[in-house]
Amino acid sequence: MTDPTESNIADPVFQSLRKRGHRITAQRETILQIFRDLPHGNHLSAEELHGKLVQSGSHVSLATTYRTLKLLSSLGLLRELDFAEGHKHYELKEDTVPHQHIICVACNATVEFEDHFLEEAGQKIGLRHNFEVIDAQFKIFGLCPDCKRKARESDFVSEQGRPAKMRIK
Ligand SMILES: [Zn+2]
Ligand SMILES: [Zn+2]
């Protein structure tokens, strides 16, 4: 991981936050840097981020990690995603192309996709209700190709295991 203390001082994102009166602690910079270093399309839960922080020698608590994630999301630096797994995931929002997610309900694999039509629809619906739209999230839930195949195979196995009478219709 890159050193967060010096390198980001001139970072325009942090400069504009400081101008707006937000304190950007080294810890918050470290967290943003972890998200920046993630391979494209990766998302982290608070627990996963906390694990990475502890690994890198930080003594931050899980509660502080939660609070910092909430704060960075409210500042528009991170995007909070609810994949309906009982906990939220986060991804970097700065200069990322608007995108949506397809989530596998069996293995939680997520695939990102872009759709201009959905972005526009989100903006339009927001406007219709006099909202200033910050983010529009569209989620598709289903079975990924792997899990679809596994489901078919186990169907086949149980089909084979049934008494012969039941198999013949
Ligand atoms: Zn994403
Ligand atoms: Zn899957």
Residues of the chain with CATH 1.10.10.10: 1-94
Ligand nearest to the CA of 137: 1
| pLDDT, tens digit, 9 for 90 and up, residues 105-154 | 998 888 889 998 998 999 999 999 999 887 888 899 999 999 999 988 88
Residue identified by tokens 């039509």 is: 117
Instruction: Name residue 10's amino acid.
Output: A
Would you say 71 and 20 are in contact if contact means Cβ atoms under 8 Å apart? no
CA 43 to ligand 1 center in whole angstroms: 6
Tell me the CA–centroid distance for residue 91 and ligand 1, in Å: 6
pLDDT at residue number 13: 67
Residue 110 near residue 44, CB atoms below 8 Å: no
| Residues by chain with Cβ below 5 Å of ion ligand 1 | 91, 112
- pLDDT tens digit sequence for 5-41: 444 455 666 666 677 666 667 788 889 899 999 887 8
H or E element at residue 82: strand 78-82
Q: 42: pLDDT confidence band, cut at 50, 70 and 90? A: confident
Give domain 1-94's CATH number out of 3.40.50.10490, 2.60.40.10, 1.10.10.10, 1.20.1250.20: 1.10.10.10
H/E run at residue 157: helix 145-161
**CA-based Rg of the chain, rounded to a whole angstrom?**
21
pTM: 0.64
Start-end of CATH 3.30.1490.190 domains in the chain: 97-169
CATH topology of domain 97-169: Dna Ligase; domain 1 (3.30.1490)
**Model pLDDT, residue 164:** 45
Mean pLDDT over 88-102 rounds to 82
Encode pLDDT of 59-83 as tens digits: 889 999 999 999 888 888 899 988 7
